[in-house]
């Protein structure tokens, strides 16, 4: 038992973190809410140059889990999990996707609406019937996501009919689990971010002549959020290991991770808002960018109830 990441895995995470800290401040996330495509101008290319977009061709789910966690921390408005974790490993010709020349998104049964379909070049679509690659498709726009950067749609194939079959039912199930795992990791990152923002705010904001973070009522809210993070995170890392090792119970481990991470993120969003007071409720303040991403991702790729139900089928 050695439950720790390698220096290489941590170094990769740190490199991505440095890039995102520079290139994905909240202003970039906010811009994606109102711009044409809901994405960033340059980050996709930068991630391609760094090797993140094609990383799954060489690296394992475990190698990537911390990268997805960082993408959550910065609320990166790009289809990182869909493209990197799910689609690229399945593409017959992944070169252009790996560099970022094209964007692949996913339309897997169970993930919910298709995010970023409006700017996709290819779609990996799947269900228990199998997985296919759609190069000609139509996107029907759905009502707006609570997270303004996530442009939602439904995808259907068009033109010459159905897509190219690229996988069977087992491939679909593994693809879905990779999406759920990557999303769970993003929720861990979002939880950390909301906690960091709130700790900074309540340490700085004075009322009654003292920082509001010195009041026990505020401390206890944030302690509860920190506890939820503490006990969700190991489940996510453990699920990543199980996926990498092709553990027969990996799906159950992914479901435990997604349920716990979604619950932790939702709890932390509520605590963060309450501890910010009115400022957190204002649209100009950045907290809501992270809260809304958390709400969206906690619901996507199977919400906590759905995943617990899947755990139940294994243990009850």
Stretch that binds other proteins, among 102-110, 133-141, 144-152, 255-263 (CB under 8 A): 255-263
> Is 144 near other proteins (CB under 8 A)?
no
Q: Which residues of 76-87 are buried (b: 16+ CB within 10 A; e: fewer)?
A: bbbbbbbbbbbb
Candidate list 171, 199, 270, 273; residue touching other proteins; CB under 8 A? 199
> Is 235 near other proteins (CB under 8 A)?
yes
Q: Name the residue among 111, 119, 247, 260 with its Cα closest to residue 175.
A: 111
Considering beta carbons, is residue 55 or 250 the nearer one to other proteins? 250
Candidate list 20, 56, 97, 259; residue touching other proteins; CB under 8 A? 259
> Is 309 near other proteins (CB under 8 A)?
yes
At closest approach, how far in Å is the CB of 232 from other proteins? 7
Stretch that binds other proteins, among 179-187, 199-207, 276-284, 292-300 (CB under 8 A): 199-207
Q: Are strands 114-115 and 137-141 parallel, antiparallel or unpaired?
A: unpaired
Candidate list 26, 31, 48, 224; residue touching other proteins; CB under 8 A? 224
> Is 273 near other proteins (CB under 8 A)?
no
> Is 208 near other proteins (CB under 8 A)?
no
Quote the CA–CA distance of 71 and 233 in Å, as a whole number. 15
Quote the CA–CA distance of 237 and 241 in Å, as a whole number. 6
**Which helix (H) or strand (E) covers residue 129, if one does?**
none
Identify residues 21-60 at the interface with other proteins (CB under 8 A): none
At closest approach, how far in Å is the CB of 244 from other proteins? 8
Stretch that binds other proteins, among 39-47, 68-76, 135-143, 256-264 (CB under 8 A): 256-264
Q: What are the DSSP calls for 153-222, one per residue?
A: EEEEE-SSSS-EEEE-HHHHHHHHHHHHHHHHHHHHHHHHHHHHHHHHHHHH-EETTEEGGGSHHHHHHH
Considering beta carbons, is residue 237 or 290 the nearer one to other proteins? 237
Quote the CA–CA distance of 122 and 126 in Å, as a whole number. 13
Stretch that binds other proteins, among 19-27, 97-105, 172-180, 195-203 (CB under 8 A): 195-203
Task: Check if the beta carbon of residue 310 is closer than 8 Å to that of residue 162.
Answer: no
Q: Name the residue among 184, 87, 94, 96 with its Cα closest to residue 126.
A: 87
- Give the three-state DSSP class for 136: coil
Q: DSSP E strands: which ranges in 104-200?
A: 104-108, 114-115, 122-127, 130-134, 137-141, 152-157, 164-167
Stretch that binds other proteins, among 113-121, 139-147, 168-176, 253-261 (CB under 8 A): 253-261
> Is 193 near other proteins (CB under 8 A)?
no
- Please give the biggest Cα pair distance in the chain: 70
Q: Which residue in the block uniquely carries the two structure tokens 């759920």?
A: 180
Stretch that binds other proteins, among 20-28, 78-86, 90-98, 238-246 (CB under 8 A): 238-246
Footprint of other proteins (CB under 8 A):
1-6, 62, 195, 199, 202-203, 210-211, 213-214, 216, 218-220, 222-224, 226-227, 230-235, 237-238, 241-242, 245, 256, 259-260, 305, 308-309, 311-312, 315-316
């Amino acid at each position: 038992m050695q439950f720790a990441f390698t220096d290489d895995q941590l170094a990769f995470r740190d490199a991505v973190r440095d890039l995102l800290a520079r290139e994905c401040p909240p202003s970039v996330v906010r811009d994606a809410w109102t711009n044409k495509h809901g994405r960033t101008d340059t980050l996709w290319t930068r991630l391609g140059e760094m090797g993140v977009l094609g990383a799954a061709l060489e690296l394992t789910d475990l190698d990537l889990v911390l990268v997805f966690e960082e993408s959550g921390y910065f609320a990166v408005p790009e289809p990182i999990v869909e493209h990197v974790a799910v689609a690229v490993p399945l593409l017959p010709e992944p070169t252009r996707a790996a560099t970022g020349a094209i964007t692949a998104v996913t339309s897997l049964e169970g993930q919910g609406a298709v995010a970023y379909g409006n700017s996709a070049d290819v779609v990996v679509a799947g269900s228990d019937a199998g997985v296919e690659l759609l190069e000609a498709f139509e996107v029907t726009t759905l009502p707006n996501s609570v997270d303004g950067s996530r442009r939602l749609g439904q995808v259907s194939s068009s033109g010459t009919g159905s897509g190219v079959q690229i996988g069977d039912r087992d491939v679909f199930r593994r693809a879905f689990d990779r999406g759920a795992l990557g999303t769970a990791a993003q929720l861990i990152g979002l939880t950390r971010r909301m906690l960091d923002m709130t700790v900074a705010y309540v340490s700085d904001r004075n009322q009654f002549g003292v920082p509001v973070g010195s009041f026990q009522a505020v401390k206890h809210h944030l302690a509860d959020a920190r506890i939820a993070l503490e006990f969700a995170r190991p489940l996510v890392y453990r699920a990543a290991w199980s996926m990498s090792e092709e553990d027969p119970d990996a799906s159950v481990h992914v479901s435990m991770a997604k349920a716990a991470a979604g619950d932790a993120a939702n709890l932390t969003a509520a605590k963060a808002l309450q501890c910010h007071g009115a400022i957190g409720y204002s649209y100009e303040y950045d907290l809501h960018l992270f809260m809304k991403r958390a709400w969206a991702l906690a619901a996507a790729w199977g919400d906590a109830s759905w995943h617990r139900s899947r755990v139940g089928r294994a243990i009850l």
